[in-house]
Structure 1
Amino acid sequence: MKNYNGLSLNQSDVIANSLSIISVVGTLRATRNYTDIADELIDIVHQYLKEATTNKQPTPLHSPYNGDSSITIGSRLRLARENLGLTEADVARELGIYSDCISDWECGTTEPPASAIIPLANALKCDPLWLLTGNATHQFPATPDHQSRYHHSGPLRSDVSDHASHHEMTPSQA
């Protein structure tokens, strides 16, 4: 994992580490003897945050899936929706948007905004990362609850069933 002067560049670590250092700076500034050290720490935090945020490429909304770049977020959206037996209107109603938006996303005319990814994943009962990239973050075993939820839609396609229902945590994992 990349780091800056021994500090992790993982996004959540950067935030926690920066807040900790800034808290120490506040304490040091309160004691007049350590203002130079406090100023130095502020410079370090500034450089640390700069390093953590430079050269970051935004995650594309579609990426190759098993070497086939034709599988886009729109394709995965459609697969997940159809496997749940939902219409475009059903998903749109769940998100509070027009069904034309869902159609445009599925056809690739437009892509869903970043703010719609989590609500979409929730409506489609799939992993948000799978929706974005085709790769799931977690693999949870299917429980009877998961199986009965999808019983009405017939057998699931393996490329979707492996990922579409696995983002929810079971009560024992919460």
Structure 2
Amino acid sequence: MSKASIPCREPAFLISLGRRLRAARTAVSLAQAEMAARLDIARQTLISYETGQTDPPSGLLAQICNDFQIDAGWLLMGSAKLPVSSKQRARGA
């Protein structure tokens, strides 16, 4: 199966995923540069993920879920609400 035929890799999915990545980042009060540094990626790379221009690797998505205690179902599919506690927001994960 080619990458183009996988529905989750379609542009609309990547845009939605990017919006959730940004929501997760802002929920823990991190600037793009801060989150990029924590993930060991370039700020421009994070921007390309948040804008839906680039498909983030699954390992990076797993790291975001783990490091920032984000539900994978929410991050990937938008199910439920962003599960970030006020304690996490106060300390930036």
Instruction: Normalising by structure 2, report the TM-score.
Output: 0.70
Q: After TM superposition, give the deviation of residue 78 of structure 1 in Å.
A: 0.5
Residue 42 of structure 2, aligned match among 89, 94, 98: 98
Q: Verify: 1:84 aligned to 2:28, yes or no.
A: yes
Identity of aligned residues (%): 28
Q: Match for 2:59: what amino acid?
A: S
Q: Match for 1:72: what amino acid?
A: S
Aligned length: 86
Q: Match for 2:19: what amino acid?
A: S
Q: After TM superposition, give the deviation of residue 127 of structure 1 in Å.
A: 0.8
- 1:12-91 alignment, distance < 5 Å: 58=6, 60=8, 72-91=16-35
CA contact (8 A) 1:92 1:99 kept: yes
What is residue 119 of structure 1 aligned with on the other side?
63
Pick closer, same or farther for the CA change 1:121–1:130 going to 2, 3 Å: same
Write 1 or 2 for the structure with the bigger share of helix.
Answer: 2
Instruction: Normalising by structure 1, report the TM-score.
Output: 0.41
Q: Match for 2:8: what amino acid?
A: P
Any idea what the Cα deviations from partners look like across 1:25-82, whole Å, max 9, x if unmatched? xxxxxxxxxxxxxxxxxxxxxxxxxxxxxxxx85615798xxxx79610000001111
Q: Secondary structure at the match of 1:100?
A: helix
Which structure would you say has the larger Rg? 1
Q: Structure 1 residue runs of 4+, over 2 Å off?
A: 61-64, 122-125, 146-153
Any idea what the Cα deviations from partners look like across 1:76-109, whole Å, max 9, x if unmatched? 0001111111011111111111111100011111
CA contact (8 A) 1:61 1:132 kept: no
Pick closer, same or farther for the CA change 1:79–1:62 going to 2, 3 Å: farther
- 1:125-140 alignment, distance < 5 Å: 125-135=69-79
Pick closer, same or farther for the CA change 1:70–1:102 going to 2, 3 Å: closer
Q: Match for 2:52: what amino acid?
A: G
Find the aligned partners of 2:54 and 2:15 in 1 and give their Cα distance: 15
| RMSD (Å), alpha carbons | 3.2
Find the aligned partners of 1:70 and 1:124 in 2 and give their Cα distance: 20
Gaps of 5+ in 2: none
Q: Match for 2:46: what amino acid?
A: I
